[in-house]
């Protein structure tokens, strides 16, 4: 374990929980870096594509290997979100980390959806009668103010790099923990403190990471299928009128996801699969007269 951070992350306890299911895991916590995803991608590339390359012991920082690694940064200076967007963070107000794992799933489609569901369920147990965290396809978590409407609580960015016969998945996660003054955001700003004031960034990390590891391993073994029911319960777009970048379904109603993670769009002319691209959500009555366009 390595730490140069200012908060108490209790890294040893987390490492002891994860080591049995992720042998060889290293956990590093730093006060500041450009992007945890970028750092882990560069390390995997420096391994030369050889998964046999071993890193240091868990007590040392790794520079280039294909073993599992959890890298946490109290602040990212060049954090990245989907569609090339900037992910804003501040020490103490944000939780930003990346998890590197070598995987060989039958299909990579839908991994971000499985990860999103794992995070939501870890913070907001599905035993509660109604979800407080919704999932916006394909990689956002929303704090729900009412059904179908919420503000952005977190996001997921998954990137991969070849490592021998497998690929290393770099799973980047950002969660807003405390209020942070930002400019206009498509979906507004939400933070854990609004609903779970007892969770600071280290406590949220300890709560979320074991669930993410379990979900990724389950996804590798069985794909997205086991997550579909849970995702449907939290689907923040289901039944809402949307616009998309797909010519055949420029307007329609979001109609759930399939077992490969594609978003179904129902239109008067038929039902279409959106694998990637832009999705716009129209405002509901009471939200204002103009339409709001957002991208996934």
Backbone torsions φ then ψ of 223, nearest 5 degrees: 75, -160
Task: Give the whole-angstrom CA distance, residue 232 versus residue 90.
Answer: 32
238-296 folds as SH3 type barrels. (2.30.30)
**Angle at which helices 201-222 and 11-18 cross, to 10°:** 20
DSSP 107-118: --TTHHHHHHHH
Task: Give the whole-angstrom CA distance, residue 125 versus residue 132.
Answer: 9
DSSP 201-215: HHHHHHHHHHHHHHH
2-234 folds as BirA Bifunctional Protein; domain 2 (3.30.930)
**E strand intervals along 31-132:** 69-73, 94-103
DSSP 214-241: HHHHHHHHHTTGGGHHHHHHHBSSTT-E
Is the peptide bond prior to 3 cis by the omega test (within 30 degrees of 0)?
A: no
User: Residue ranges per domain, the chain?
Assistant: 2-234, 238-296
Task: Give the whole-angstrom CA distance, residue 158 versus residue 171.
Answer: 5
* Torsion region of 57: left, alpha or beta (phi above 0 gives left; psi -120 to 50 gives alpha): beta
Please provide the size of the chain in residues. Answer: 296
Is-contact 216 171, C-beta < 8 A?
yes
pLDDT in tens, the chain (296 residues): 665 667 899 999 999 999 999 999 999 999 999 999 999 999 988 875 454 444 443 434 455 567 899 999 999 986 555 555 555 667 789 999 999 999 999 999 999 999 999 999 999 999 988 999 999 999 999 999 987 689 999 999 999 998 877 799 999 999 999 998 765 566 789 999 999 999 999 999 999 999 999 999 999 999 999 999 999 999 999 999 998 989 899 999 999 999 999 999 999 999 999 999 888 776 554 454 333 333 33
All residues at 6 or more sequence positions from 23 whose CB lies less than 8 Å from its CB, including other chains: none
What's the sign of the alpha-carbon dihedral 275, 276, 280, 284?
positive
Task: Give the whole-angstrom CA distance, residue 67 versus residue 194.
Answer: 36
Query: pTM for this one?
Result: 0.87
């Amino acid at each position: 374990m390595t730490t140069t951070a200012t908060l108490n992350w209790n890294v040893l306890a987390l490492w002891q929980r994860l080591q049995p299911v992720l042998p060889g895991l290293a956990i590093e916590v730093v006060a500041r870096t450009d992007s945890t995803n970028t750092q882990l991608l560069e390390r995997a590339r420096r391994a030369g594509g050889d998964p046999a390359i071993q890193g240091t012991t868990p007590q040392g920082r790794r520079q280039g290997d294909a073993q599992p690694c959890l890298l946490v940064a109290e602040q990212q200076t060049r954090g990245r979100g989907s569609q090339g967007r900037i992910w804003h963070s501040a020490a103490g107000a944000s939780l930003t980390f990346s998890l590197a794992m070598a995987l060989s799933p039958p299909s990579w489609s839908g991994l971000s959806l499985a990860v999103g569901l794992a995070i939501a369920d870890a913070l907001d147990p599905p035993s509660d009668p109604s979800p407080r965290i919704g999932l916006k396809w394909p990689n956002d978590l929303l704090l729900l103010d009412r059904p179908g409407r919420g503000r952005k609580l977190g996001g997921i960015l998954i990137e991969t790099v070849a490592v021998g016969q497998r690929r290393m998945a770099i799973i980047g996660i950002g969660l807003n923990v405390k209020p942070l003054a930002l400019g206009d955001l498509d979906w507004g700003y939400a933070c854990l403190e609004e609903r779970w004031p007892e969770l600071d960034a280290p406590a949220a990390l300890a709560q979320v990471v074991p669930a993410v590891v379990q979900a990724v391993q389950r996804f590798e073994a069985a794909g997205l299928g086991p997550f579909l029911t849970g995702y449907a319960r939290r689907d923040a777009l289901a039944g809402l009128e949307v616009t998309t970048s797909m010519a055949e379904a420029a307007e329609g109603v979001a109609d759930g996801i399939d077992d490969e993670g594609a978003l179904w769009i129902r239109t008067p002319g038929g039902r279409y699969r959106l694998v990637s691209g832009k999705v716009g959500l129209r405002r509901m009555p009471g939200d204002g007269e103009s339409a709001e366009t957002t991208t996934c």
